[in-house]
Amino acid sequence: MKNRIFLLVFFMGLIMTSCSKDEIEEPTPKPPDTGNPDETPEEPEENPDEEATISFLPSETPSYMVDASATAETVALFYNLKAISYSNFIVGQQDAFSSFYNDNDGYSDIKKLTGSDPGMLGSDFMFITDDQNNGQPNNWFYQQEQMIKQNAIDAYNKGMVNIFCWHLREPYEGDNFYTSEMTEFQKQNAFKSILPGGANHEYYKKKLQKVAEFTKSLVGEDGKQIPIIFRPFHEFDKDFFWWGAAYSSPQEFIDVWRFTVEYLRDELGVDNMLYAFSPDNSYSTETTYLQRYPGDAYVDVVGMDNYGDLSPQDGSRIGIANKKLQVVSDLAEERVKIPAFTETGYFVTPSETYLAPDFYSDMLYKVLTDNDIKVGFMMFWQNSADTYTVPVPGTDGAEDFMDFIEKPEPWLLEDMSNIYDLPADE
């Protein structure tokens, strides 16, 4: 195994020392205090060999967050994820505690292979907010809610990060989220209908109330509210979800995003949430990435979901994927956000059985590290009965995945110190 002690010491040293209604503003760094208001500070000399480090003090963290009144643990999570991104990245998996290859439950599949749980658990608000969830103990959807809740609590108690997406069903019938299963009327009107003043706006507010109720109810064994990262409307640049770009204008998308944040934060009092902006891979420039960006005041995490560019097992699009992730990395640095690879993986299925022998240790690793990009975390999608994105012992890619994890940058749970403690200013 790589030298865990060295990495932990390095990380602790790092964190201790170191379009829309309104025009999107670029953050302006504060000049150093020279003691003379008439004196123009000299530009610091650049040192190409100097390691990049976090640019603000721990105590200044809330001023860069969507919620300046966030809980202490949520503030610490923001700061530490930002600090981690300069040298490492946390590796997570969706539904790691509830969805397994060959339905072989027990330990997470990552732990079965590596001996460590992932550093992040991905979950979904879908069943929690389902119309059929009546809150009764014998209700299947409510039972799923309770399982998801316990898994999130267990993850926090272990020291992991929790992240939630939301496959919200369309608001007319409450049945589907894929547009391929919706009527033309539903596709063209569902998103617009949840805008303030829209036909389904009150319905949407009730769903947000459920999200708030659930999120605020997450309490760890330490008695503290558990921070989560929330990824609403993920992969919004494509057309396969009803919140996709084909079904709303950029301004309408921004309006719904801003309402969502303001309603959760200001009206419902959710203070244990970071907000993640995560399109799919259709962009190629900063301009196209920001086309639906709601503004720095409404985003904590800038990310990218990308399966398509990692699908060719000849590696022909790996450089393209890296360039797209570099857009995320650069924007996070400019705007003081957490950079992330919010979903990825290659699905080994009964019909797609070929996995490049160096997919994890070379191809995926290059996406995450070439051109000195910074990423605070990356997340594989779930394993299931006959499909995996993370191999288990005895499957193709298992040794290669271990080679990937053995590299200096990837962190599983066993590599992490307490991510919910904010270091003191120095």
Catalytic residues: 235, 343
CB 368 within 8 A of CB 408: no
CB 61 within 8 A of CB 346: no
CA torsion angle 208 213 215 220 (round to 10): 180
Helix ranges (H only) for 131-277 are: 140-158, 184-193, 201-217, 250-262
Assign 13 to helix, strand or coil.
helix
What secondary structure letter does DSSP report for 370?
Answer: G
Burial of 76 per CB tally in 10 Å (0-12, 13-18, 19+)? buried
- Find the angle CA(138)-CA(139)-CA(142) to the nearest 5 degrees: 115
In whole angstroms, what is the distance from residue 349 CA to residue 2 CA?
31
In whole angstroms, what is the distance from residue 336 CA to residue 421 CA?
20
CB 108 within 8 A of CB 99: no
CB 138 within 8 A of CB 391: no
What secondary structure letter does DSSP report for 86?
Answer: T
In whole angstroms, what is the distance from residue 374 CA to residue 83 CA?
10
Q: Strand pairing of 410-411 and 338-344?
A: unpaired
In whole angstroms, what is the distance from residue 402 CA to residue 91 CA?
13
The enclosing H or E element of 339 equals strand 338-344
Amino acid making up residue 380? F
First to last CA, the chain: 32
